[in-house]
A and B are shown apart, each in its own frame.
Chain A
Amino acid sequence: MEILVCAKRVPDTSENEITLNRAGSDIEREELVYSVNEADNYAVEEALQIVAKVGGNVSVVTVGDEEDEEILRREMAMGASHGILLSDPEFQMSDGRGIATILKAFVTQGKYDLILTGVQAEDGAAQIGGMLAAMLDYPFASLVNSIEVLDTNKLKIGREIEGGNREISEIDLPCVLSIQTGINEPRYVGMRGIRAVASVPIPTLGASDLGVDPNTVGEAGARVKRVDYFVPALGKGAEMLAGSREENIDRVLEFIAAKGGLK
């Protein structure tokens, strides 16, 4: 099975102190460290596990610039056989639809049986998977937390439903799935693995290579524009329980029950 995973490089929320820039238009990016978007990493792991069972190849693609190569290398160190960077000055400031347009152009150049995205980017809007599927006229399922290959044309997938329920569906290939974190346990990739793929060439494709009309992507094509970005003021602090241990335990149980955590 030929699987394509769409991945994104994001500021790692656990390793950064996100602050706004002076203009208030974006976050301060000076001292940020980046990593591959967590859900995308789960998607790559899932793709690798599928390929380990049924054979095939895993390719990872990202839209960005030279710096984004770092996440392609990390995913290649995990076991992906190809990394492709889609990069062009025209792509900058694309909205979700623009990114989906670029990815669609890339997908139609190749032959992929399955396309995976993360459920959402940590700095994103959970929109690419659905748009990409619609543009490709492929079936789509979101929030996928299990995949089983039934045959060369069909998958059995599980989806997480609000409230902890699960839904099992069959879906025809080729399709697009957005992958929920927790679907698997991604393998560890260290510096050594990345060094081993450091010299593997990563093809870079621009607008003309992909046959993308510059007017449909980038700032020119964007129909959603960010107008503000801020950190909301902190709400009221936590409530401190001051009582005996038994009283506090009872209070905590009440709270959890009141919020629907206990049945």
Chain B
Amino acid sequence: MVSLVSSWLKPGRHLFILVHLIGVTSFAYIAWRRLVPLVRAQADPRFDRPLERLGNVAKFWFGQWKHPRYRGAGILHILIFAGFILLVIRSFSTLLVGAFYSLSAPPGEFARVYNTITDYAATVVFTCMLVAIVRRLVFRPARYAVPTRYGKAHTADAIFLLALIAVLMAAEGLFSAAAAAGQFKVGEAGEQLAFLSLPWLLQIPLASASLATIGKFCFGAYLVHETTFYLLLCYRPFGIQFHVETSLFNVYFAKLNRGTVKPVRWDVPDSALDQVKTFGVKTFEDFTWKHMLDFYSCADCGRCSDSCPANAVGRPLSPRFLSIKARDYAFQHYPVLGRSTNHQALVGSVYSDDEIWSCTTCGACEEECPLLIENIDKIVDLRRGMIDDGNVPQSLQKPLKALESRGNPYGKMEKKRADWATNKEFQRVCPVKTLAKNTANTLYFVDSMTSYDDRMQSIARSTARILANIGDDFGILGGAERDSGHEVRRFGEETLFTALRDHNTDAIKASGVKKIVTADPHAFNALRHDYKDVPPVEHISQVIARTSAAGLIRFNAVERPDQIYTYHDPCYLGRHNDVYDDPRNVLDAIPGLKRVEMQRSRDRSFCCGGGGLMLFYEPKEEQRMGVTRVEMAAEAGADVIVTACPFCMVNLEDAIKVAGLEGKMTAIDLAELVDRQMVRHDSTSTATSYVGG
């Protein structure tokens, strides 16, 4: 027996099949065209570690892990996503009904339950679309705005897509409602619509209509549903909703090793890099296929730019538009219809020089992205291209040249690298061995800033005293140490970085140490992620946390219990290396120390302005990042900002002056604070005169 619904749809069968064919063919063609640039892109081996990748899919894609970080929009998205997942089977079975009658057979027990759930799911999605449209039109969250320099607003596109989904849900609901109403009229066993769901509501007015009218509604609803479905499917690859198709793949193939920088070319070993004609990304085709997939996947949600410190202080960089502009480029140069035109320089047309140099590689954007889109590797690759073309700001050329000839960005003499330690008075209270001549268990890797900067040498002395106090047998490389090259690499000067790394690696190996300690998170990240075959490395905050927990360090109570402390997470300690709790545990172990958290703390930390070469770059900005940061600390009610990075220290101390908070607020390094507060075991107690200077 041919069911009622089938008899209604029968006259349109050929039309429906035609729409199916056109829809599927068009989508297949569009998807193929979108794949063209990915095929021409650079290699990117992302097919390893399948279990870890599936774990990411479970957490970040299926589990929507990042979404609740923005509560309202996040919940809305989770509801829509859940609705979509639930509706997949129903949507496809509805689509097929028009072509294959058998599928309209009376539902079984499982299908009844599924139908009830999906009645509600469709209702929720429909409601969410209305809420989302109202949000876009009435509430207009600031992060969706498109500054004029980045192009036109995307509101119309967003609303069109939201409306299409609403229509899809409504058409599907009407189809179910008509089917149910008709079946009820003729006494055929049919679907029991879920109470107060969208189909249930639509069924009420239909109940009084004639069977023929209901049939027409059913037919119309089917046709609208089918065409809307294919319209959506084929329109999504032209805009911000392409992520519906690509997100699963984007999350599966996401970068797994945080804190690292991609090699110049995945398919060329370091030793053969001299044979590579050009470095970095100069044209769109120089991106890897995964980076292109990132561009397709960006949902334009604006979370990255909302959390980007460069964007916050008015630098000409907004990570969201790194993706959007590249996607626009791809759509324009790899059109669905027409010839592909390619190989045009990106910097100077799509991106500006200042845009690419403005990034501090703090990682806030990547931390926030629900789709795990990468920005740092792309920035570094674009910088590599600019370095390769000689296009480097004059202010950065001197420090780069100095790093090449002297191993530090200041152009200071190599032999003066250990001056902070060889000072006679300090040597008397805290002798520091220079390795190679001597041997030791631990290497204290100081790095350039802490070695040469008068103010930051205090961090070096505090670190040395802490290591001496816990009885660690340690030494330094002294004149044999070179800059870790952390920022050199992140500024795109890979060849110089390799030279610095190789020099340090040889020196470290020759010293025969078993482990490395550093007080500079940038050196820490370099030694941990950029160097190979060096002993394990710890940041001094980890050493202090470990040894104080074991009772090796005890603390005196703070002298001024009225002061409120706050901890500023350095990007390369926190976000890039997940060291959040150790420094806090140390602070909380100091008797009488009161600590508050800034609103943006831990993985939401706001960059101080950047380290290494960033100190030499003269950005175009409305305000220094550091000033914004100390204002945040003031807002939290803090008098003392504790950090654990010499670059954070220089930026924050400057910012306290610029913000006019001098005398009201101070900044201190964790190592300095511990040095000040720790109960001393030995002669280092006479060294108090060195604290802070």
Binding site for B on A (CB under 8 A): 12, 14-17, 31, 33, 35, 78, 185-193, 195-196
Given A12-B411, A14-B402, answer yes or no on A191-B388 (Cβ-Cβ < 8 Å).
no
Q: Report whether A33 and B274 are in contact in the complex, using a CB–CB cutoff of 8 Å.
A: no
Q: Report whether B495 and A192 are in contact in the complex, using a CB–CB cutoff of 8 Å.
A: yes
The distance in angstroms between the C-alpha atoms of A192 and B397, with both chains bound, is 15
The distance in angstroms between the C-alpha atoms of A78 and B401, with both chains bound, is 14
The distance in angstroms between the C-alpha atoms of A23 and B229, with both chains bound, is 90
The distance in angstroms between the C-alpha atoms of A186 and B396, with both chains bound, is 12
Enumerate B483-506 residues with CB–CB distance to A below 8 Å: 493-496, 499
The distance in angstroms between the C-alpha atoms of A28 and B105, with both chains bound, is 97
Whether B552 is near chain A, meaning CB under 8 Å from some CB there, is no
Q: Report whether A15 and B499 are in contact in the complex, using a CB–CB cutoff of 8 Å.
A: no
The distance in angstroms between the C-alpha atoms of A16 and B413, with both chains bound, is 7
Residues in B with CB closer than 8 Å to A185 are: 394
Question: Could you tell me the distance in whole angstroms from the C-beta of A71 to the nearest C-beta in chain B?
Answer: 12
Residues in A with CB closer than 8 Å to B496 are: 190-191
Question: Could you tell me the distance in whole angstroms from the C-beta of A187 to the nearest C-beta in chain B?
Answer: 3
Q: Report whether A35 and B274 are in contact in the complex, using a CB–CB cutoff of 8 Å.
A: no
Q: Report whether B413 and A17 are in contact in the complex, using a CB–CB cutoff of 8 Å.
A: yes
Residues in B with CB closer than 8 Å to A191 are: 404, 495-496, 499
Q: Name the CB-closest residue of A to B388.
A: A192
The distance in angstroms between the C-alpha atoms of A118 and B240, with both chains bound, is 54
With beta carbons under 8 angstroms apart, the residue of A12, A15, A186, A190 that contacts B495 is A190
Q: Report whether A14 and B400 are in contact in the complex, using a CB–CB cutoff of 8 Å.
A: no
Q: Report whether A15 and B400 are in contact in the complex, using a CB–CB cutoff of 8 Å.
A: no
Q: Report whether A35 and B405 are in contact in the complex, using a CB–CB cutoff of 8 Å.
A: yes
The distance in angstroms between the C-alpha atoms of A35 and B402, with both chains bound, is 10
Whether B581 is near chain A, meaning CB under 8 Å from some CB there, is no
Secondary structure at the B interface, as helix, strand, loop or mixed, is helix
Q: Report whether A14 and B279 are in contact in the complex, using a CB–CB cutoff of 8 Å.
A: no
Secondary structure at the A interface, as helix, strand, loop or mixed, is loop
Given A31-B413, A190-B495, A192-B495, answer yes or no on A15-B402 (Cβ-Cβ < 8 Å).
yes
Question: Could you tell me the distance in whole angstroms from the C-beta of A32 to the nearest C-beta in chain B?
Answer: 10
Residues in A with CB closer than 8 Å to B390 are: 78, 187-189, 193
The distance in angstroms between the C-alpha atoms of A16 and B657, with both chains bound, is 31
Q: Name the CB-closest residue of A to B401.
A: A35
7 closest pairs, A vs B, by CB? A187-B390, A15-B411, A188-B392, A192-B495, A33-B405, A191-B495, A188-B390
Residues in B with CB closer than 8 Å to A193 are: 390
Residues in A with CB closer than 8 Å to B394 are: 185-186
The distance in angstroms between the C-alpha atoms of A188 and B403, with both chains bound, is 14
Given A35-B401, A195-B274, answer yes or no on A190-B493 (Cβ-Cβ < 8 Å).
yes
Q: Name the CB-closest residue of B to A187.
A: B390
Whether B398 is near chain A, meaning CB under 8 Å from some CB there, is yes
Q: Report whether B405 and A15 are in contact in the complex, using a CB–CB cutoff of 8 Å.
A: yes
Q: Name the CB-closest residue of B to A38.
A: B398
Q: Report whether B397 and A188 are in contact in the complex, using a CB–CB cutoff of 8 Å.
A: yes
Given A188-B397, A190-B387, answer yes or no on A12-B405 (Cβ-Cβ < 8 Å).
yes
- Would you give 26 A-B contacts (Cβ < 8 Å), ordered by A? A12-B401, A14-B398, A14-B402, A15-B401, A15-B406, A15-B411, A17-B413, A31-B413, A31-B414, A187-B389, A187-B390, A188-B391, A188-B396, A188-B397, A190-B387, A190-B493, A190-B495, A190-B496, A191-B404, A191-B495, A191-B496, A191-B499, A192-B279, A192-B495, A193-B390, A195-B274
Residues in A with CB closer than 8 Å to B405 are: 12, 15, 33, 35
Enumerate B371-412 residues with CB–CB distance to A below 8 Å: 387-392, 394, 396-398, 400-402, 404-406, 411-412
The distance in angstroms between the C-alpha atoms of A203 and B402, with both chains bound, is 29
Question: Could you tell me the distance in whole angstroms from the C-beta of B391 to the nearest C-beta in chain A?
Answer: 7
Task: Count residues of B near A (Cβ-Cβ below 8 Å).
Answer: 28
Q: Name the CB-closest residue of A to B415.
A: A31
The distance in angstroms between the C-alpha atoms of A33 and B495, with both chains bound, is 20
Q: Report whether B411 and A14 are in contact in the complex, using a CB–CB cutoff of 8 Å.
A: yes
Enumerate B615-659 residues with CB–CB distance to A below 8 Å: none
The distance in angstroms between the C-alpha atoms of A12 and B404, with both chains bound, is 13
Residues in A with CB closer than 8 Å to B412 are: 15
Q: Report whether B406 and A196 are in contact in the complex, using a CB–CB cutoff of 8 Å.
A: no
Residues in B with CB closer than 8 Å to A15 are: 401-402, 405-406, 411-412
Residues in A with CB closer than 8 Å to B415 are: 31
The distance in angstroms between the C-alpha atoms of A29 and B392, with both chains bound, is 30
The distance in angstroms between the C-alpha atoms of A188 and B394, with both chains bound, is 8
Residues in A with CB closer than 8 Å to B499 are: 191
Question: Could you tell me the distance in whole angstroms from the C-beta of A51 to the nearest C-beta in chain B?
Answer: 15
Q: Name the CB-closest residue of A to B492.
A: A190
Q: A188-B400, A190-B493 are in contact. List 16 more A-B contacts (CB 8 A).
A: A12-B411, A14-B411, A15-B401, A15-B405, A17-B413, A33-B405, A35-B401, A78-B390, A185-B394, A186-B394, A188-B391, A190-B387, A190-B400, A191-B404, A195-B495, A196-B274
Question: Could you tell me the distance in whole angstroms from the C-beta of B191 to the nearest C-beta in chain A?
Answer: 68
Q: Name the CB-closest residue of A to B408.
A: A15
The distance in angstroms between the C-alpha atoms of A22 and B525, with both chains bound, is 45
The distance in angstroms between the C-alpha atoms of A192 and B388, with both chains bound, is 8
The distance in angstroms between the C-alpha atoms of A191 and B400, with both chains bound, is 10
The distance in angstroms between the C-alpha atoms of A191 and B405, with both chains bound, is 10
The distance in angstroms between the C-alpha atoms of A188 and B398, with both chains bound, is 10
The distance in angstroms between the C-alpha atoms of A17 and B416, with both chains bound, is 11
The distance in angstroms between the C-alpha atoms of A195 and B271, with both chains bound, is 13
The distance in angstroms between the C-alpha atoms of A237 and B398, with both chains bound, is 28
Question: Could you tell me the distance in whole angstroms from the C-beta of B387 to the nearest C-beta in chain A?
Answer: 6
Residues in B with CB closer than 8 Å to A31 are: 413-415
Question: Could you tell me the distance in whole angstroms from the C-beta of A194 to the nearest C-beta in chain B?
Answer: 9
Question: Could you tell me the distance in whole angstroms from the C-beta of B268 to the nearest C-beta in chain A?
Answer: 13
Q: Name the CB-closest residue of A to B398.
A: A14
The distance in angstroms between the C-alpha atoms of A94 and B602, with both chains bound, is 64
Q: Name the CB-closest residue of A to B499.
A: A191
Q: Name the CB-closest residue of B to A188.
A: B392
Residues in A with CB closer than 8 Å to B389 are: 187
Residues in A with CB closer than 8 Å to B398 are: 14
Q: Name the CB-closest residue of B to A245.
A: B660
The distance in angstroms between the C-alpha atoms of A35 and B388, with both chains bound, is 20
Question: Could you tell me the distance in whole angstroms from the C-beta of B478 to the nearest C-beta in chain A?
Answer: 15
The distance in angstroms between the C-alpha atoms of A188 and B495, with both chains bound, is 13
